Amino acid sequence: MKVLAMDKTAEEGLKLIREAGIEVDSKSGLSEDELIKIIPAYDALIVRSETKVTPKIIEAGKNLKIVARAGVGVDNVDLPTATKNGVIVVNSPEGNTVAAAEHTWAMLLSMARSIPQAHGRLKGGVWDKKSFKGVEVLNKTLGVVGLGKIGRRVAAYALGMGMRVIGSDPFVTADYAKGLGVELKSLDEVIKESDFITFHIPKSKETAGLINAAAIAKMKKGVRLVNVARGGIINEKDLYDALKSGQVKAAALDVFEKEPCGSSPLFELDNIVVTPHLGASTVEAQVNVAIDVAEQIIEVLKGGAARSAVNIPSMKPELITPVRPYLGIAEKLGSLAAQIVKGAVKKVEVEYAGEIAGNNVSPLTTIVLKGLLTPMLDVKVNFVNAPFAAKERGIEIVESKSEEARDFASLITVKVVTEQETRLIGGTVFAGVGDRLVMIDGFRVDAVPEGYILVLQNIDKPGMIGKVGTFLGQHDINIAAMDVGRVKVGEKAVMVLNVDNPIPDRVLQEFTRLEGIFGATLVKI
């Protein structure tokens, strides 16, 4: 077996691979064509950020079993092609946690004490003490937006510095945050109460431009902001205006909307500290990520499972084969539950009834968690890390089995308990038909769990189906299928509709204003 290491991967990781009896070649600066020529000889490929692992390279790697990104982001690896060709892609999601958290604090303290500005003035021959009066962090309030691995470590550092720490994270419970020493609050409360705010969230459709003029206006006058997460979370034009006006006293940025960023109006200001995306740039972090991916390569090449696979769930065949027909419905139930439930998840109960209960169902519980957590988290969730990710967030997992058939040969039910509500959904697999959603909150239904699904909560009375059909027609939404579930005539009921198009939020809100309808949720499976 042979491993090709690109981009000057740390020697400590390569040494581990060699000690495992696997041959390693180190190269750098190869073009796509050059890499295509040699990649057929290798079983594994290690890259950092320089090498782009394109579809052509993956397809040329006839013996390639694993691509390892020595770092967090895998944007330089073509995941769909890797998946199609059965190549596992792994990363090192924890290797740079300390580096990013420490850089956050280096930026925060540098900003609080104007260290870069004073350094530059003194190097220029000017001894100027009056211009650089700073502030202490003791007894100040730090707002941490995002309580993942890095956010939690930043919070711990802040507590050690004598700060009050408040945090915002929709997927963390108050009890879990309390255990970290953090007061869990809404994003709006964090923005309003903090003296310093630091961001540790991914950039997504929901978080792009999250901190804009409107959000900044809610902050304390003189607030200080730090972003060592992803560029684009803070609107740079609005930040510039706020820094000029004094609404934001100072800012520290390691990431930018466009990178590399060689120039910006922000660079003209004296009350900002900037670095060129150095969050993971420490000797230790580079060694840690190299060792992490090296261990995974060794495990995979010796027939084991990768703990940080980002595309292919790696699971032993003897566990998967007996329950393989139910993998799809299990993941769909988890995904559906994540999209209909409100509040931070505290507990997940998965029950298996009928024939399926005679198997080892742990792979199914894991994939339920994968489906549940994927829409919630900023990391790729797979077979290996789903249970860990749930435990890390304080989510209690309960698995139970019953041989009682309950009207179906096999039935999987998923109960999700949050701080606000409890939701229950059930699904099965019909021979020759496929996956079916058969229960929502105790109501029997029969729906295909695919594509766009509209879940309505309504009163069971004449005219409701017509009202729903007319309303959707008026908004040019085509119904592919519909099913109605009820327990008693004239009481609460549910409608499950497969629709051909996404439904805008404003239309969903209008739905709930129709007489007899008190809940409307769109799910994408």
Give the architecture-level CATH label for domain 2-94+283-301.
3-Layer(aba) Sandwich (3.40)
Distance of CA 5 to the CA centre of its chain: 28
| 259 is annotated as an active-site residue | yes
Catalytic residue, chosen from 12, 19, 136, 259, is 259
Assess whether pLDDT exceeds 90 at residue 314. no
Candidates 69, 153, 200, 230; catalytic one: 230
CA distance 71 to 92: 5
Q: Is the pLDDT of residue 84 over 80?
A: no
Domains 2-94+283-301 and 97-274 are alike in CATH topology? yes
The pLDDT of residue 202: 81
CATH of domain 313-439: 3.30.1330.90
Residue with the two structure tokens 């630091």:
198
Q: Name 52's Cβ contacts closer than 8 Å, sequence gap at least 6.
A: 32, 76
Query: How many angstroms separate the CA atoms of 521 and 249, rounded?
Result: 41
Q: How far is CA 426 from the centre of its chain?
A: 25
Do residues 46 and 5 touch, judged by C-beta distance below 8 A?
yes
Check whether domain 442-525 has CATH 3.40.50.10470, yes or no: no
Tens digits of residue pLDDT in 110-151: 999 999 999 999 999 999 999 999 999 999 999 999 998 899
Q: Would you say 278 and 256 are in contact if contact means Cβ atoms under 8 Å apart?
A: no
The dihedral formed by the CA atoms of 49, 50, 51 and 55, expressed in degrees to the nearest 10: 60
**Domain map (residue ranges) of the chain:** 2-94+283-301, 97-274, 313-439, 442-525
| Active-site pick, 277, 307, 393, 436 | 277
Closest CA relative to residue 1, chosen from 63, 59, 83: 63
The pLDDT value given to residue 75: 75
Report the first-to-last Cα separation within the chain, whole angstroms. 39
- The string of pLDDT tens digits covering residues 493-525 is 999 999 999 999 899 999 889 999 988 999 999
The pLDDT value recorded for residue 316 is 55
CATH fourth-level superfamily of 97-274: NAD(P)-binding Rossmann-like Domain (3.40.50.720)
Res. 447: pLDDT tops 60: yes
Average pLDDT of the residues in 450-457: 95
Task: Give the per-residue pLDDT at 318.
Answer: 65
pLDDT tens string 34-44? 999 999 999 99
Quickly tell me which residue has 């005219």 as its tokens.
Answer: 463
Q: Of 339, 281, 387, 372, give the one whose Cα is nearest residue 508.
A: 339
